[in-house]
Amino acid sequence: MKIFSSFLLCLFGTITGCPLFAKEPVNLSACKQEVIRYYDSGQYHQDMNDVIQQAIAYLKQKEHQPLPKGKKPAIVLDIDETALSNYPDMLKRRFGGTDQDHATDKDAGTNPVIMPTLTLYDYAKAHHVAVFFITSRHENERDITAKNLHEAGYNNWDGLTLRFGRYNHASVATYKTAMRQRLNKQGYEILENIGDQESDLTGGFADKTFKLPNPFYSIPLQSPLGFVA
């Protein structure tokens, strides 16, 4: 699971607007309510859509520009809080829960689609741009992940990479960078890389990155852990 203390750390800094522990932190219940209000108000969805529209506009711009010789156009997508939402499960657990709780939720394979991302996905596929998912979910979760993606409307992707072998214990940033580098060596020019965490985006091997909003949790760059990311 992703570290929910990171979620709290982020909120304390954001909501109080002052150094951590300069005074009593905002009550945990208030932090959670602030996130719920942000989501329920529609602002989260609007902020998500704004970023995705920028990504689509960038793809349109790149359509008219030549690629390096021998390269094929591609985009890379994260899954959790990028292509699929864990919000219903997080809300049910009040942004907590045990490892077993999260495993149960994950194994259900019922994460709903994030519609703006599906719009981007469909645009890319319609314009002959390859789409690759790179997720920190583990290889033994491939079947349930693929099923969830299909049922959410993501079809005919060009690759679904899950953590395997030595990357099971590497940091998320190290693993995802290596997977983008592998695509580059296979002849793909990654026009854009879209994710909700800096650990999804750091490390290069993409022309441009797009950071989606995530007020729910964060993953430190060197963390080997993921929510189911």
pLDDT tens-digit series, residues 202-227 = 999 999 999 999 999 988 877 666 55
With H, G, I as helix, E, B as strand and everything else as coil, classify residue 29.
helix
- Ranges of beta strands (E only) in 122-211 are 130-138, 159-163, 188-195, 208-211
- Gyration radius of the chain's alpha carbons: 18
Q: Higher pLDDT residue, 101 or 10? A: 101
Q: Higher pLDDT residue, 225 or 72? A: 72
Cβ–Cβ < 8 Å for 168, 138: yes
Specify whether domain 42-211 bears CATH 3.40.50.1000.
yes
* The 208-211 sheet, strands edge to edge: 159-163, 130-138, 72-77, 188-195, 208-211
Confidence (pLDDT) at 226? 56
Would you say residue 155 has pLDDT above 60? Answer: yes
C-alpha to C-alpha distance for 106 and 96, rounded to whole angstroms = 14
Q: Higher pLDDT residue, 71 or 225? A: 71
Confidence (pLDDT) at 103? 82
Q: Higher pLDDT residue, 171 or 15? A: 171
Locate the domains of the chain by residue range. Answer: 42-211
